[in-house]
Amino acid sequence: MNKIVLPAYNKNIIRALRSLRVEGCSLRKPGIDEVLIKVHAAPCNPSDIAFMMGGYNIIKEVPTVPGFEGSGIVVEAGEGAEDLIDRKVSFFIQEENCGSWSEYVISNRKKLVVLDDKMNMDQAACFAINPFTARGLLDIALLRDNHAVIQNAAGGQVAAFVRQMAGDMGIDVIDIVRKQKTVERLKNEGARYVLLENDPLFEQNLKKLAHKLDARLAFDAVGGPLAGQIFNAMPFDAELVSYGGLSTKHISGIDSMDLIFHNKIISGFNLPEWREQMDDDFFEQVSVDMQHLFISGKYQTKIQGSVGFDNISDGLIQCLRNLSKGKMLIKAKVAE
């Protein structure tokens, strides 16, 4: 089978992408509770980009195979997983020596979402992480009884799910983006409050809106000074939840008076930990409900295209230029 190999981490992402190569290797048999999955597709997520730069919380021995999620069909099973043969699955794998940018992967059954046969397999490739992340973030809003939230990187796919799910829950969303064209797109799609982070009146307008809507919860995927601006703009009793570090900069500019006297807090969200805390039956129900919304077409991950193993570097460099355009899927072969 063929797989994509990253020979070494590189802080320069273009160089890291240019260094990707296709390599052949042999397959091992799945062990107890493991399955062998023939991969249909795997996306390139910001976590994969951070990983290739050596800036993610997971560092594997190099050379390594990138990719933390994907979709496929179970073609072989070890003891205790035979019931999964021929099932469609989405998977989320972070194990050493196993990445989703490969023709086959081995996964423990616990790391799989077993899918309804009607799930579209391109959509399934992006199902295991982002929709559940949005759901996990909004669970915080429900727990805190917040009726308005703020989010940055709002042109991305987690943010799109947050907007859609929040709408269904009656929660207002203040979206923050970094490009004017993304403001226009989100407004065309029905987003109500969209702010441009480099507008000279950004901080002033955000504060006004956050107080008007009583937005006491923010989902931060960017970090850096933007996270500090959002934190300072929120009313007392607010919480800023950091779940991504797209700017690669430390959160900064926090008003310490807010922390001391206004009962504001900063916390972090990590999907695997949220999943761990969840009862298996409850997670299964959330997954089934969410799949129905994908099958009906109500929920969709925006996909900008697919790239084959033989053209991966050029395809991913092109996708980096416009992440808001949607996910780039990686497939062993892309039909002409």
Ligand X SMILES: NC(=O)c1ccc[n+]([C@@H]2O[C@H](COP(=O)([O-])OP(=O)(O)OC[C@H]3O[C@@H](n4cnc5c(N)ncnc54)[C@H](OP(=O)(O)O)[C@@H]3O)[C@@H](O)[C@H]2O)c1
Torsion sign (Cα): 181, 187, 188, 190: positive
Q: Does 151 bind ligand X (CB under 6 A)?
A: no
Site track 22-61 with ligand X (rule: CB under 6 A), x = hit: -----------------------xxx--------------
- Among 6, 65, 166, 323, which residue sits at the site for ligand X (rule: CB under 6 A)? 323
HEC sequence for the chain: CEEEEECCCCCCHHHHHHCCEEEECCCCCCCCCEEEEEEEEEECCHHHHHHHCCCCCCCCCCCECCCCEEEEEEEEECCCCHHHCCCEEEEECCCCCCCCCECEEEEEHHHEEECCCCCCHHHHHCCCCHHHHHHHHHHHHHHHCCCEEEECCCCCHHHHHHHHHHHHHCCEEEEEECCHHHHHHHHHCCCCEEEECCCCCHHHHHHHHHHHHCCCEEEECCEHHHHHHHHHHCCCCCEEEECCCCCCECCCCCCHHHHHHCCCEEEECCHHHHHHHCCHHHHHHHHHHHHHHHHCCCCCCCEEEEEEHHHHHHHHHHHHCCHHHCEEEEECCCCC
Site track 104-143 with ligand X (rule: CB under 6 A), x = hit: -------------------------xx--x----------
Q: Which stretch binds ligand X (CB under 6 A): 101-109, 175-183, 184-192, 305-313?
A: 175-183
Q: Which stretch binds ligand X (CB under 6 A): 22-30, 90-98, 288-296, 317-325?
A: 317-325
Choose between 70 and 155: whose C-beta lies nearer to ligand X: 155
Choose between 72 and 244: whose C-beta lies nearer to ligand X: 244
- Among 263, 270, 285, 311, which residue sits at the site for ligand X (rule: CB under 6 A)? 270
Site track 237-266 with ligand X (rule: CB under 6 A), x = hit: ------xx-xx-------------------
Report, in Å, the least distance between residue 30 CB and ligand X: 27
**C-beta neighbour count of 47 within 10 angstroms:** 19
Choose between 263 and 322: whose C-beta lies nearer to ligand X: 322
Report, in Å, the least distance between residue 161 CB and ligand X: 8
Report, in Å, the least distance between residue 58 CB and ligand X: 12
Number of residues that bind ligand X (CB under 6 A): 27
CA distance linking residue 236 with residue 154, whole number of Å: 24
Contacts to ligand X from residues 177-236, by CB under 6 A: 178-179, 182, 221-222
Choose between 124 and 246: whose C-beta lies nearer to ligand X: 246
Report, in Å, the least distance between residue 122 CB and ligand X: 15
Report, in Å, the least distance between residue 278 CB and ligand X: 13
| Contact residues for ligand X, defined by CB under 6 A | 45-47, 129-130, 133, 153, 155-159, 178-179, 182, 221-222, 243-244, 246-247, 269-271, 322-324
